[in-house]
Structure 1
Amino acid sequence: MTDVRSGQVRRPGGPGFALVLLVGSLLLVAPVAGPAGAAARTIRASSTTVWLCRPGQLLDPCAYSPDATSVAPDGETSPPPALSDPRAHAFDCFYVYPTSSNEPGDNADLRIQPVEREVAAVQASRFSQVCNVWAPMYRQATLGALNRGAAVDPAVVATAYDSLLAAWKDYLAHDNHGRPVVFIGHSQGAAMLIKLLQAQVDPSASLRRRMVSAIVLGGNVQVPVGRDAGGSFRSIPTCGSSSQTGCVIAYSTFGSPPPAAAFFARPGQGVSLQSGQTAKVGQEVACVNPVTFSSRAGPLRPYFLSVTSVVPHVTVGTPWVTYPDLYTAQCEQSGGASWLQVTATATAGDERPTVSATLGPLWGYHLQDVTLALGNLVADVASEEAAYR
């Protein structure tokens, strides 16, 4: 993720270490006013939820401009096609952001900080082309709570989840108005989303019908080997195509096979502990390729904010930059791990910058799980919505 600046991370030895998304202060990413339209009229002054992103509210980071520049291997630039006007849509996206809080204490409060705005702009704002993005603040486990080298206190996880659950129930009761929903979460946000889907959506036929899809990245969704459901979720399958609805897109990105102690890609390790998942005989971590929805490789459509410095960028005049045909992605399995293998395909003369495993081999490309496939994921949601209609 390209507006994420990685600081010094204490590498814990135990598998209970929950996963951390380190976010730096990026003053150039300014939130903008939200779009007008039907969804904007749903704002309630009496809402009990603190909304990071909410259609129509001022300073909404999920309404950040989608304008982008496409940079070809020879350096030629052009505007990529937009999917839709970022106005009110018939579909909602419910986004749960990853670990970002560096507040003191084990659980964050509900005050909106610059880091939450920044990560929402990077991960969720491009989805505003295809849905109304809602993102509640929740009392997530802080960097301090997750960086101690031991399993995170279950009470800390429970506090985080309970606050998210309250926001979901508030949204469903007062703001959803029957619209179909796409769920989006990454890292700790993915772990909380797994718990929410398990408790609220999977057992409910009516909510499953309203679920367009769920994008659950860097969260270790588990499935029985060779099956698409029956692990993390009893009735919600993994997606087999971009036109399938009511299903889950899940993966973790690596540039090489995950080490044995990797925080992702194996059941019961790392981030799995945040969602209460354990290693079970006959289960594996799901990998859904957002490009091909099969075992075949396909070209990724990454989108990076052009004002950030973690991944160097060609100078462009738009907020976003994309590098077509720079990466391919393919689901792979080895040593009990299942992951989305991302391979740079640059040839001689292609000077476009590539990503690296910023936090080390145990993390892979975790910081870029969303941005490496952001164009594909937004297009997938558009296809799912078309099929849902």
Structure 2
Amino acid sequence: MSHGPRRAPRALMTTLAAAACAAAALGAATASASASTTWLCKPGLKSNPCAMGLGTTVISPTGETEGTLTPAQTKSPKIDCFYVYPTVSDQKTMQATRRIDPEERSIALYQAARYSSECRIYAPMYRQITLAGLLKPDAVTAKMRASAYADVRDAWRDYLKHDNKGRGVVFIGHSQGTFVLRQLIAQEVDKQAAVRKRMVSALLLGGNVLVKKGKKDGGDFQHLKACTSATQLRCVVAFSTFNAAPPETAVFGRAGEGRSVVAGQSTAGTEVLCTNPAALAGGSAPLTSLYPSAPFAPGSTIGALTTQVGLPTPSISTPWIEAQAFSGQCTSTNGINVLTITGVTGAPSLKTLPDATWGLHLVDANIALGNLVTLVHGQVARYTAH
């Protein structure tokens, strides 16, 4: 990165753990329809953070440059991706407006832009609970949470009416975005057979997706199962990343913990789903990490934290960095289900932020991004063939 790390205040780092909890209460109340959708990413936008170049520098586990590549990009994608971003807003109010700030542009680049090789990307702005709101949870109202969900719901309906035209859809979310999508998919997709048929898959990272204990379905969704093979459609990939056994108080991976609940649902008889995107049937496999070479929104809170995680950031000319420094395997410790990563020789030691209970939440979307894009590529081919 071109700028040095800035330590986030400890109080803020600790209270960031309320991010998913704030999102968990979304939608319990009925909200009125929001104003017309503001799109962060949409085909045809003049300034679209999801439409970036794909040139990539491959580095070794220790950070040395090994070569460059440019992956093939579908000229006319036949499916779409619907992306909902995590908690990033540094606006000083408890709830963000739909104004597009540098934080949203950066997170769209980091988490969604790479999928542009496979799909047209739609990403709505929504009035999420901000980082400031997480510091003062008592000031965050049910109406605020409901309107945040309503923004995404209305954007989805807007997209279906004006842009979808029967195309297949991949859902992509992380953290607060995943909590929003858990509810949206349950209410607007899973229960509606005609809409459900258009779903290619859902990548719901860092948001405690629930299934029946010992099963790959049930829990959040009635008809959708976990992805267990590369040829499966209308399935879910979900995981939270740790590089050590999660503590008993882990924020992610635990059913019944406050951040597992959406709209007052019961978590009895459920567990948090873990799907290894590199080995859908189970076991350990190498992970292909992809992340931008550009720094994340310099001066922002999340930007400061990302500089401390420990991923190598060599000075390169391409927009993307690719590395195979870790393998991953879904593990269960005291009923906490997470994707545990292990470094190869020379791999960097990644730092859990804000503490061990969070694991490597900040890298969920990028630690196996190469595997996820490869999975979507195959799913798209199968969906369009049928």
TM-score normalised to structure 2 length: 0.85
Whether 2:188 is the aligned partner of 1:190: answer no
For residues 73 and 272 of structure 1, the distance between their equivalents in structure 2, rounded to whole angstroms, comes to 34
For residues 332 and 156 of structure 2, the distance between their equivalents in structure 1, rounded to whole angstroms, comes to 35
- 1:317: which partner in 2? 317
**Displacement of 1:65 after TM fit?**
1.5
Whether 2:269 is the aligned partner of 1:282: answer yes
User: Which segments of 5 or more consecutive residues in structure 2 lack a partner in the other structure?
Assistant: 23-34, 296-306
How do residues 1-389 of structure 1 correspond to structure 2 at under 5 angstroms? 7-10=8-11, 17-19=18-20, 48-73=36-61, 75-80=64-69, 82-85=71-74, 87-148=75-136, 153-273=141-261, 275-276=262-263, 280-308=267-295, 309-310=307-308, 311-324=311-324, 326-345=325-344, 347=345, 350=346, 353-389=348-384
Given that 2:56 and 2:70 are in contact with CA atoms closer than 8 Å, whether structure 1 keeps it comes out as no
Larger CA deviation: 211-220 vs 221-230: 221-230
- State percent identity of aligned pairs: 39
For residues 135 and 218 of structure 1, the distance between their equivalents in structure 2, rounded to whole angstroms, comes to 18
Given that 1:254 and 1:339 are in contact with CA atoms closer than 8 Å, whether structure 2 keeps it comes out as yes
- Letter of the 1:250 counterpart: A
For residues 280 and 237 of structure 1, the distance between their equivalents in structure 2, rounded to whole angstroms, comes to 17
- 1:36: which partner in 2? none
Given that 1:18 and 1:270 are in contact with CA atoms closer than 8 Å, whether structure 2 keeps it comes out as no
Deviations 1:102-125 (A, max 9, x none): 223222111111110010001000
TM-score normalised to structure 1 length: 0.85
Given that 1:13 and 1:149 are in contact with CA atoms closer than 8 Å, whether structure 2 keeps it comes out as no
Structure with higher helix content: 2
- 2:301: which partner in 1? none
**Displacement of 1:159 after TM fit?**
1.4
RMSD across aligned positions (CA):
2.6
- Letter of the 2:87 counterpart: T
- 2:27: which partner in 1? none
- 1:27: which partner in 2? none
- Letter of the 1:10 counterpart: A
**Displacement of 1:17 after TM fit?**
2.4
Q: Does the C-alpha gap of structure 1 residues 121 and 9 become closer, same or farther in structure 2, counting only changes over 3 Å?
A: farther
Given that 1:17 and 1:152 are in contact with CA atoms closer than 8 Å, whether structure 2 keeps it comes out as no
Deviations 1:230-277 (A, max 9, x none): 10111111111122110100000011122122211001325324x336
**Displacement of 1:297 after TM fit?**
0.4
User: Which segments of 5 or more consecutive residues in structure 1 lack a partner in the other structure?
Assistant: 22-46
**Displacement of 1:76 after TM fit?**
4.8
SS in 2 for 1:343: strand
Q: Does the C-alpha gap of structure 1 residues 338 and 5 become closer, same or farther in structure 2, counting only changes over 3 Å?
A: farther
For residues 376 and 277 of structure 1, the distance between their equivalents in structure 2, rounded to whole angstroms, comes to 33
Q: Does the C-alpha gap of structure 1 residues 76 and 140 become closer, same or farther in structure 2, counting only changes over 3 Å?
A: closer
Deviations 1:360-382 (A, max 9, x none): 10110000000101111111100
For residues 120 and 278 of structure 2, the distance between their equivalents in structure 1, rounded to whole angstroms, comes to 23
- Letter of the 1:313 counterpart: T
- Letter of the 2:356 counterpart: P
Q: Does the C-alpha gap of structure 1 residues 294 and 230 become closer, same or farther in structure 2, counting only changes over 3 Å?
A: same
Given that 1:72 and 1:323 are in contact with CA atoms closer than 8 Å, whether structure 2 keeps it comes out as yes
Given that 1:257 and 1:334 are in contact with CA atoms closer than 8 Å, whether structure 2 keeps it comes out as yes
For residues 333 and 341 of structure 1, the distance between their equivalents in structure 2, rounded to whole angstroms, comes to 9
For residues 140 and 245 of structure 2, the distance between their equivalents in structure 1, rounded to whole angstroms, comes to 26
Give the length in aligned residue pairs: 356
SS in 1 for 2:370: helix
Given that 1:302 and 1:323 are in contact with CA atoms closer than 8 Å, whether structure 2 keeps it comes out as yes
SS in 2 for 1:300: strand
For residues 305 and 234 of structure 1, the distance between their equivalents in structure 2, rounded to whole angstroms, comes to 36
For residues 131 and 13 of structure 2, the distance between their equivalents in structure 1, rounded to whole angstroms, comes to 13
Q: Does the C-alpha gap of structure 1 residues 183 and 277 become closer, same or farther in structure 2, counting only changes over 3 Å?
A: farther
Deviations 1:43-91 (A, max 9, x none): xxxx921100001211100002111111135835122451424x43110
Given that 2:20 and 2:207 are in contact with CA atoms closer than 8 Å, whether structure 1 keeps it comes out as no
- Letter of the 2:328 counterpart: A
